[in-house]
């Protein structure tokens, strides 16, 4: 099976991801991508995916055609054998020989027809399993790409928050430099309470 356009797009996405650099002070599994470039590739991928699935469905539909053709060929062989049998039986002088030969021909025809059906069924199942496996592999690749895009979005979002925090700290620092420093109010010393005379004892 030749490479389809969807495979080419996946290869382009993988090649592009390999060229992307990661943010500073980050682990090697995080990168920064160009959003417009990635959206363009994903847009084309969405358009091509239904076409590829239809093509695989068409391959699966060929299974029925293979089985129908095999059944038709088997029926034709049995019909020919029956015709030969009838012609041999009509020959009175070789009646017994014709009967035995006809049975052998019918048996051989039935065996051949069964072999054709078995081989056709096996071929159709192999085509079906191959198409399903191929489609699953491509969907797995798409799933991996989407996961990497989600991880990349988290990295970009965290970087943006850090930039906002730095900007906020810089604004706060500038405001602090602009505001005049207010003198601290003088502390008042506590006033001493007047001493009260002790009551005189009554005589």
What's the Cα-to-Cα distance from 103 to each of 13, 38, 159, 172, rounded to whole Å? 64, 69, 84, 103
CA distance 7 to 141: 10
Check whether 183 has a pLDDT greater than 70. no
For the question of whether the overall pTM of this predicted structure is more than 0.85, the answer is no
Evaluate whether residue 194 is within a structural domain: no
Check whether 131 has a pLDDT greater than 50. yes
Nearest to 56 by CA among 14, 4, 110: 4
pLDDT one-digit tens code per residue, 59-112: 777 777 777 888 888 888 888 888 877 777 666 666 677 777 888 889 888 898
Tokens of 44: 């084309």
Evaluate whether residue 175 is within a structural domain: no
Nearest to 114 by CA among 85, 175, 73: 73
Evaluate whether residue 192 is within a structural domain: no
Tokens of 151: 């991880």
Mean pLDDT across the stretch 31-58?
Answer: 79
Evaluate whether residue 129 is within a structural domain: yes
The H or E element containing residue 59 is helix 35-89
Evaluate whether residue 143 is within a structural domain: yes
pLDDT at res. 195: 55
Domain count, the chain: 1
Query: Do 81 and 109 touch, CB atoms closer than 8 A?
Result: yes
Evaluate whether residue 186 is within a structural domain: no
pLDDT at res. 199: 47
Evaluate whether residue 196 is within a structural domain: no
Range of the domain at 90: 5-150
* Angle subtended by helix axes 95-178 and 35-89, to nearest 10: 170
User: Which pLDDT band, with edges at 50, 70 and 90, does 192 fall under?
Assistant: low
Query: Do 82 and 110 touch, CB atoms closer than 8 A?
Result: no
Evaluate whether residue 107 is within a structural domain: yes
Query: Do 114 and 77 touch, CB atoms closer than 8 A?
Result: no
For residue 23, count other CB atoms closer than 10 A to its CB.
Answer: 15
User: Which pLDDT band, with edges at 50, 70 and 90, does 189 fall under?
Assistant: low
Does residue 168 sit in helix, strand or coil?
helix
Query: Do 22 and 30 touch, CB atoms closer than 8 A?
Result: yes
Check whether 115 has a pLDDT greater than 50. yes
Does residue 60 sit in helix, strand or coil?
helix
């Amino acid at each position: 099976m030749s490479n389809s356009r969807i495979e080419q797009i996946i290869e382009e996405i993988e090649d592009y991801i390999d060229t992307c650099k990661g943010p500073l002070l980050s682990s090697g599994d995080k990168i920064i991508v160009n959003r417009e470039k990635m959206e363009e590739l994903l847009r084309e991928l969405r358009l091509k995916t239904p076409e590829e699935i239809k093509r695989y469905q068409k391959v699966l539909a060929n299974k029925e055609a293979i089985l129908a053709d095999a059944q038709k060929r088997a029926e034709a062989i049995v019909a020919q054998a029956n015709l030969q049998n009838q012609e041999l039986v009509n020959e009175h002088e070789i009646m017994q020989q014709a009967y035995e030969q006809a049975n052998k021909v019918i048996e051989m025809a039935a065996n051949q027809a069964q072999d054709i059906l078995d081989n056709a069924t096996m071929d159709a199942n192999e085509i079906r399993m191959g198409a399903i496996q191929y489609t699953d592999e491509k969907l797995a690749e798409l799933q991996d790409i989407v996961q990497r895009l989600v991880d990349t979005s988290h990295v970009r979002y965290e970087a943006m928050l850090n930039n906002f925090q730095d900007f906020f700290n810089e604004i706060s620092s500038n405001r602090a430099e602009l505001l005049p420093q207010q003198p601290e109010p003088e502390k008042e010393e506590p006033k001493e309470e007047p001493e009260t005379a002790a009551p005189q004892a009554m005589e």
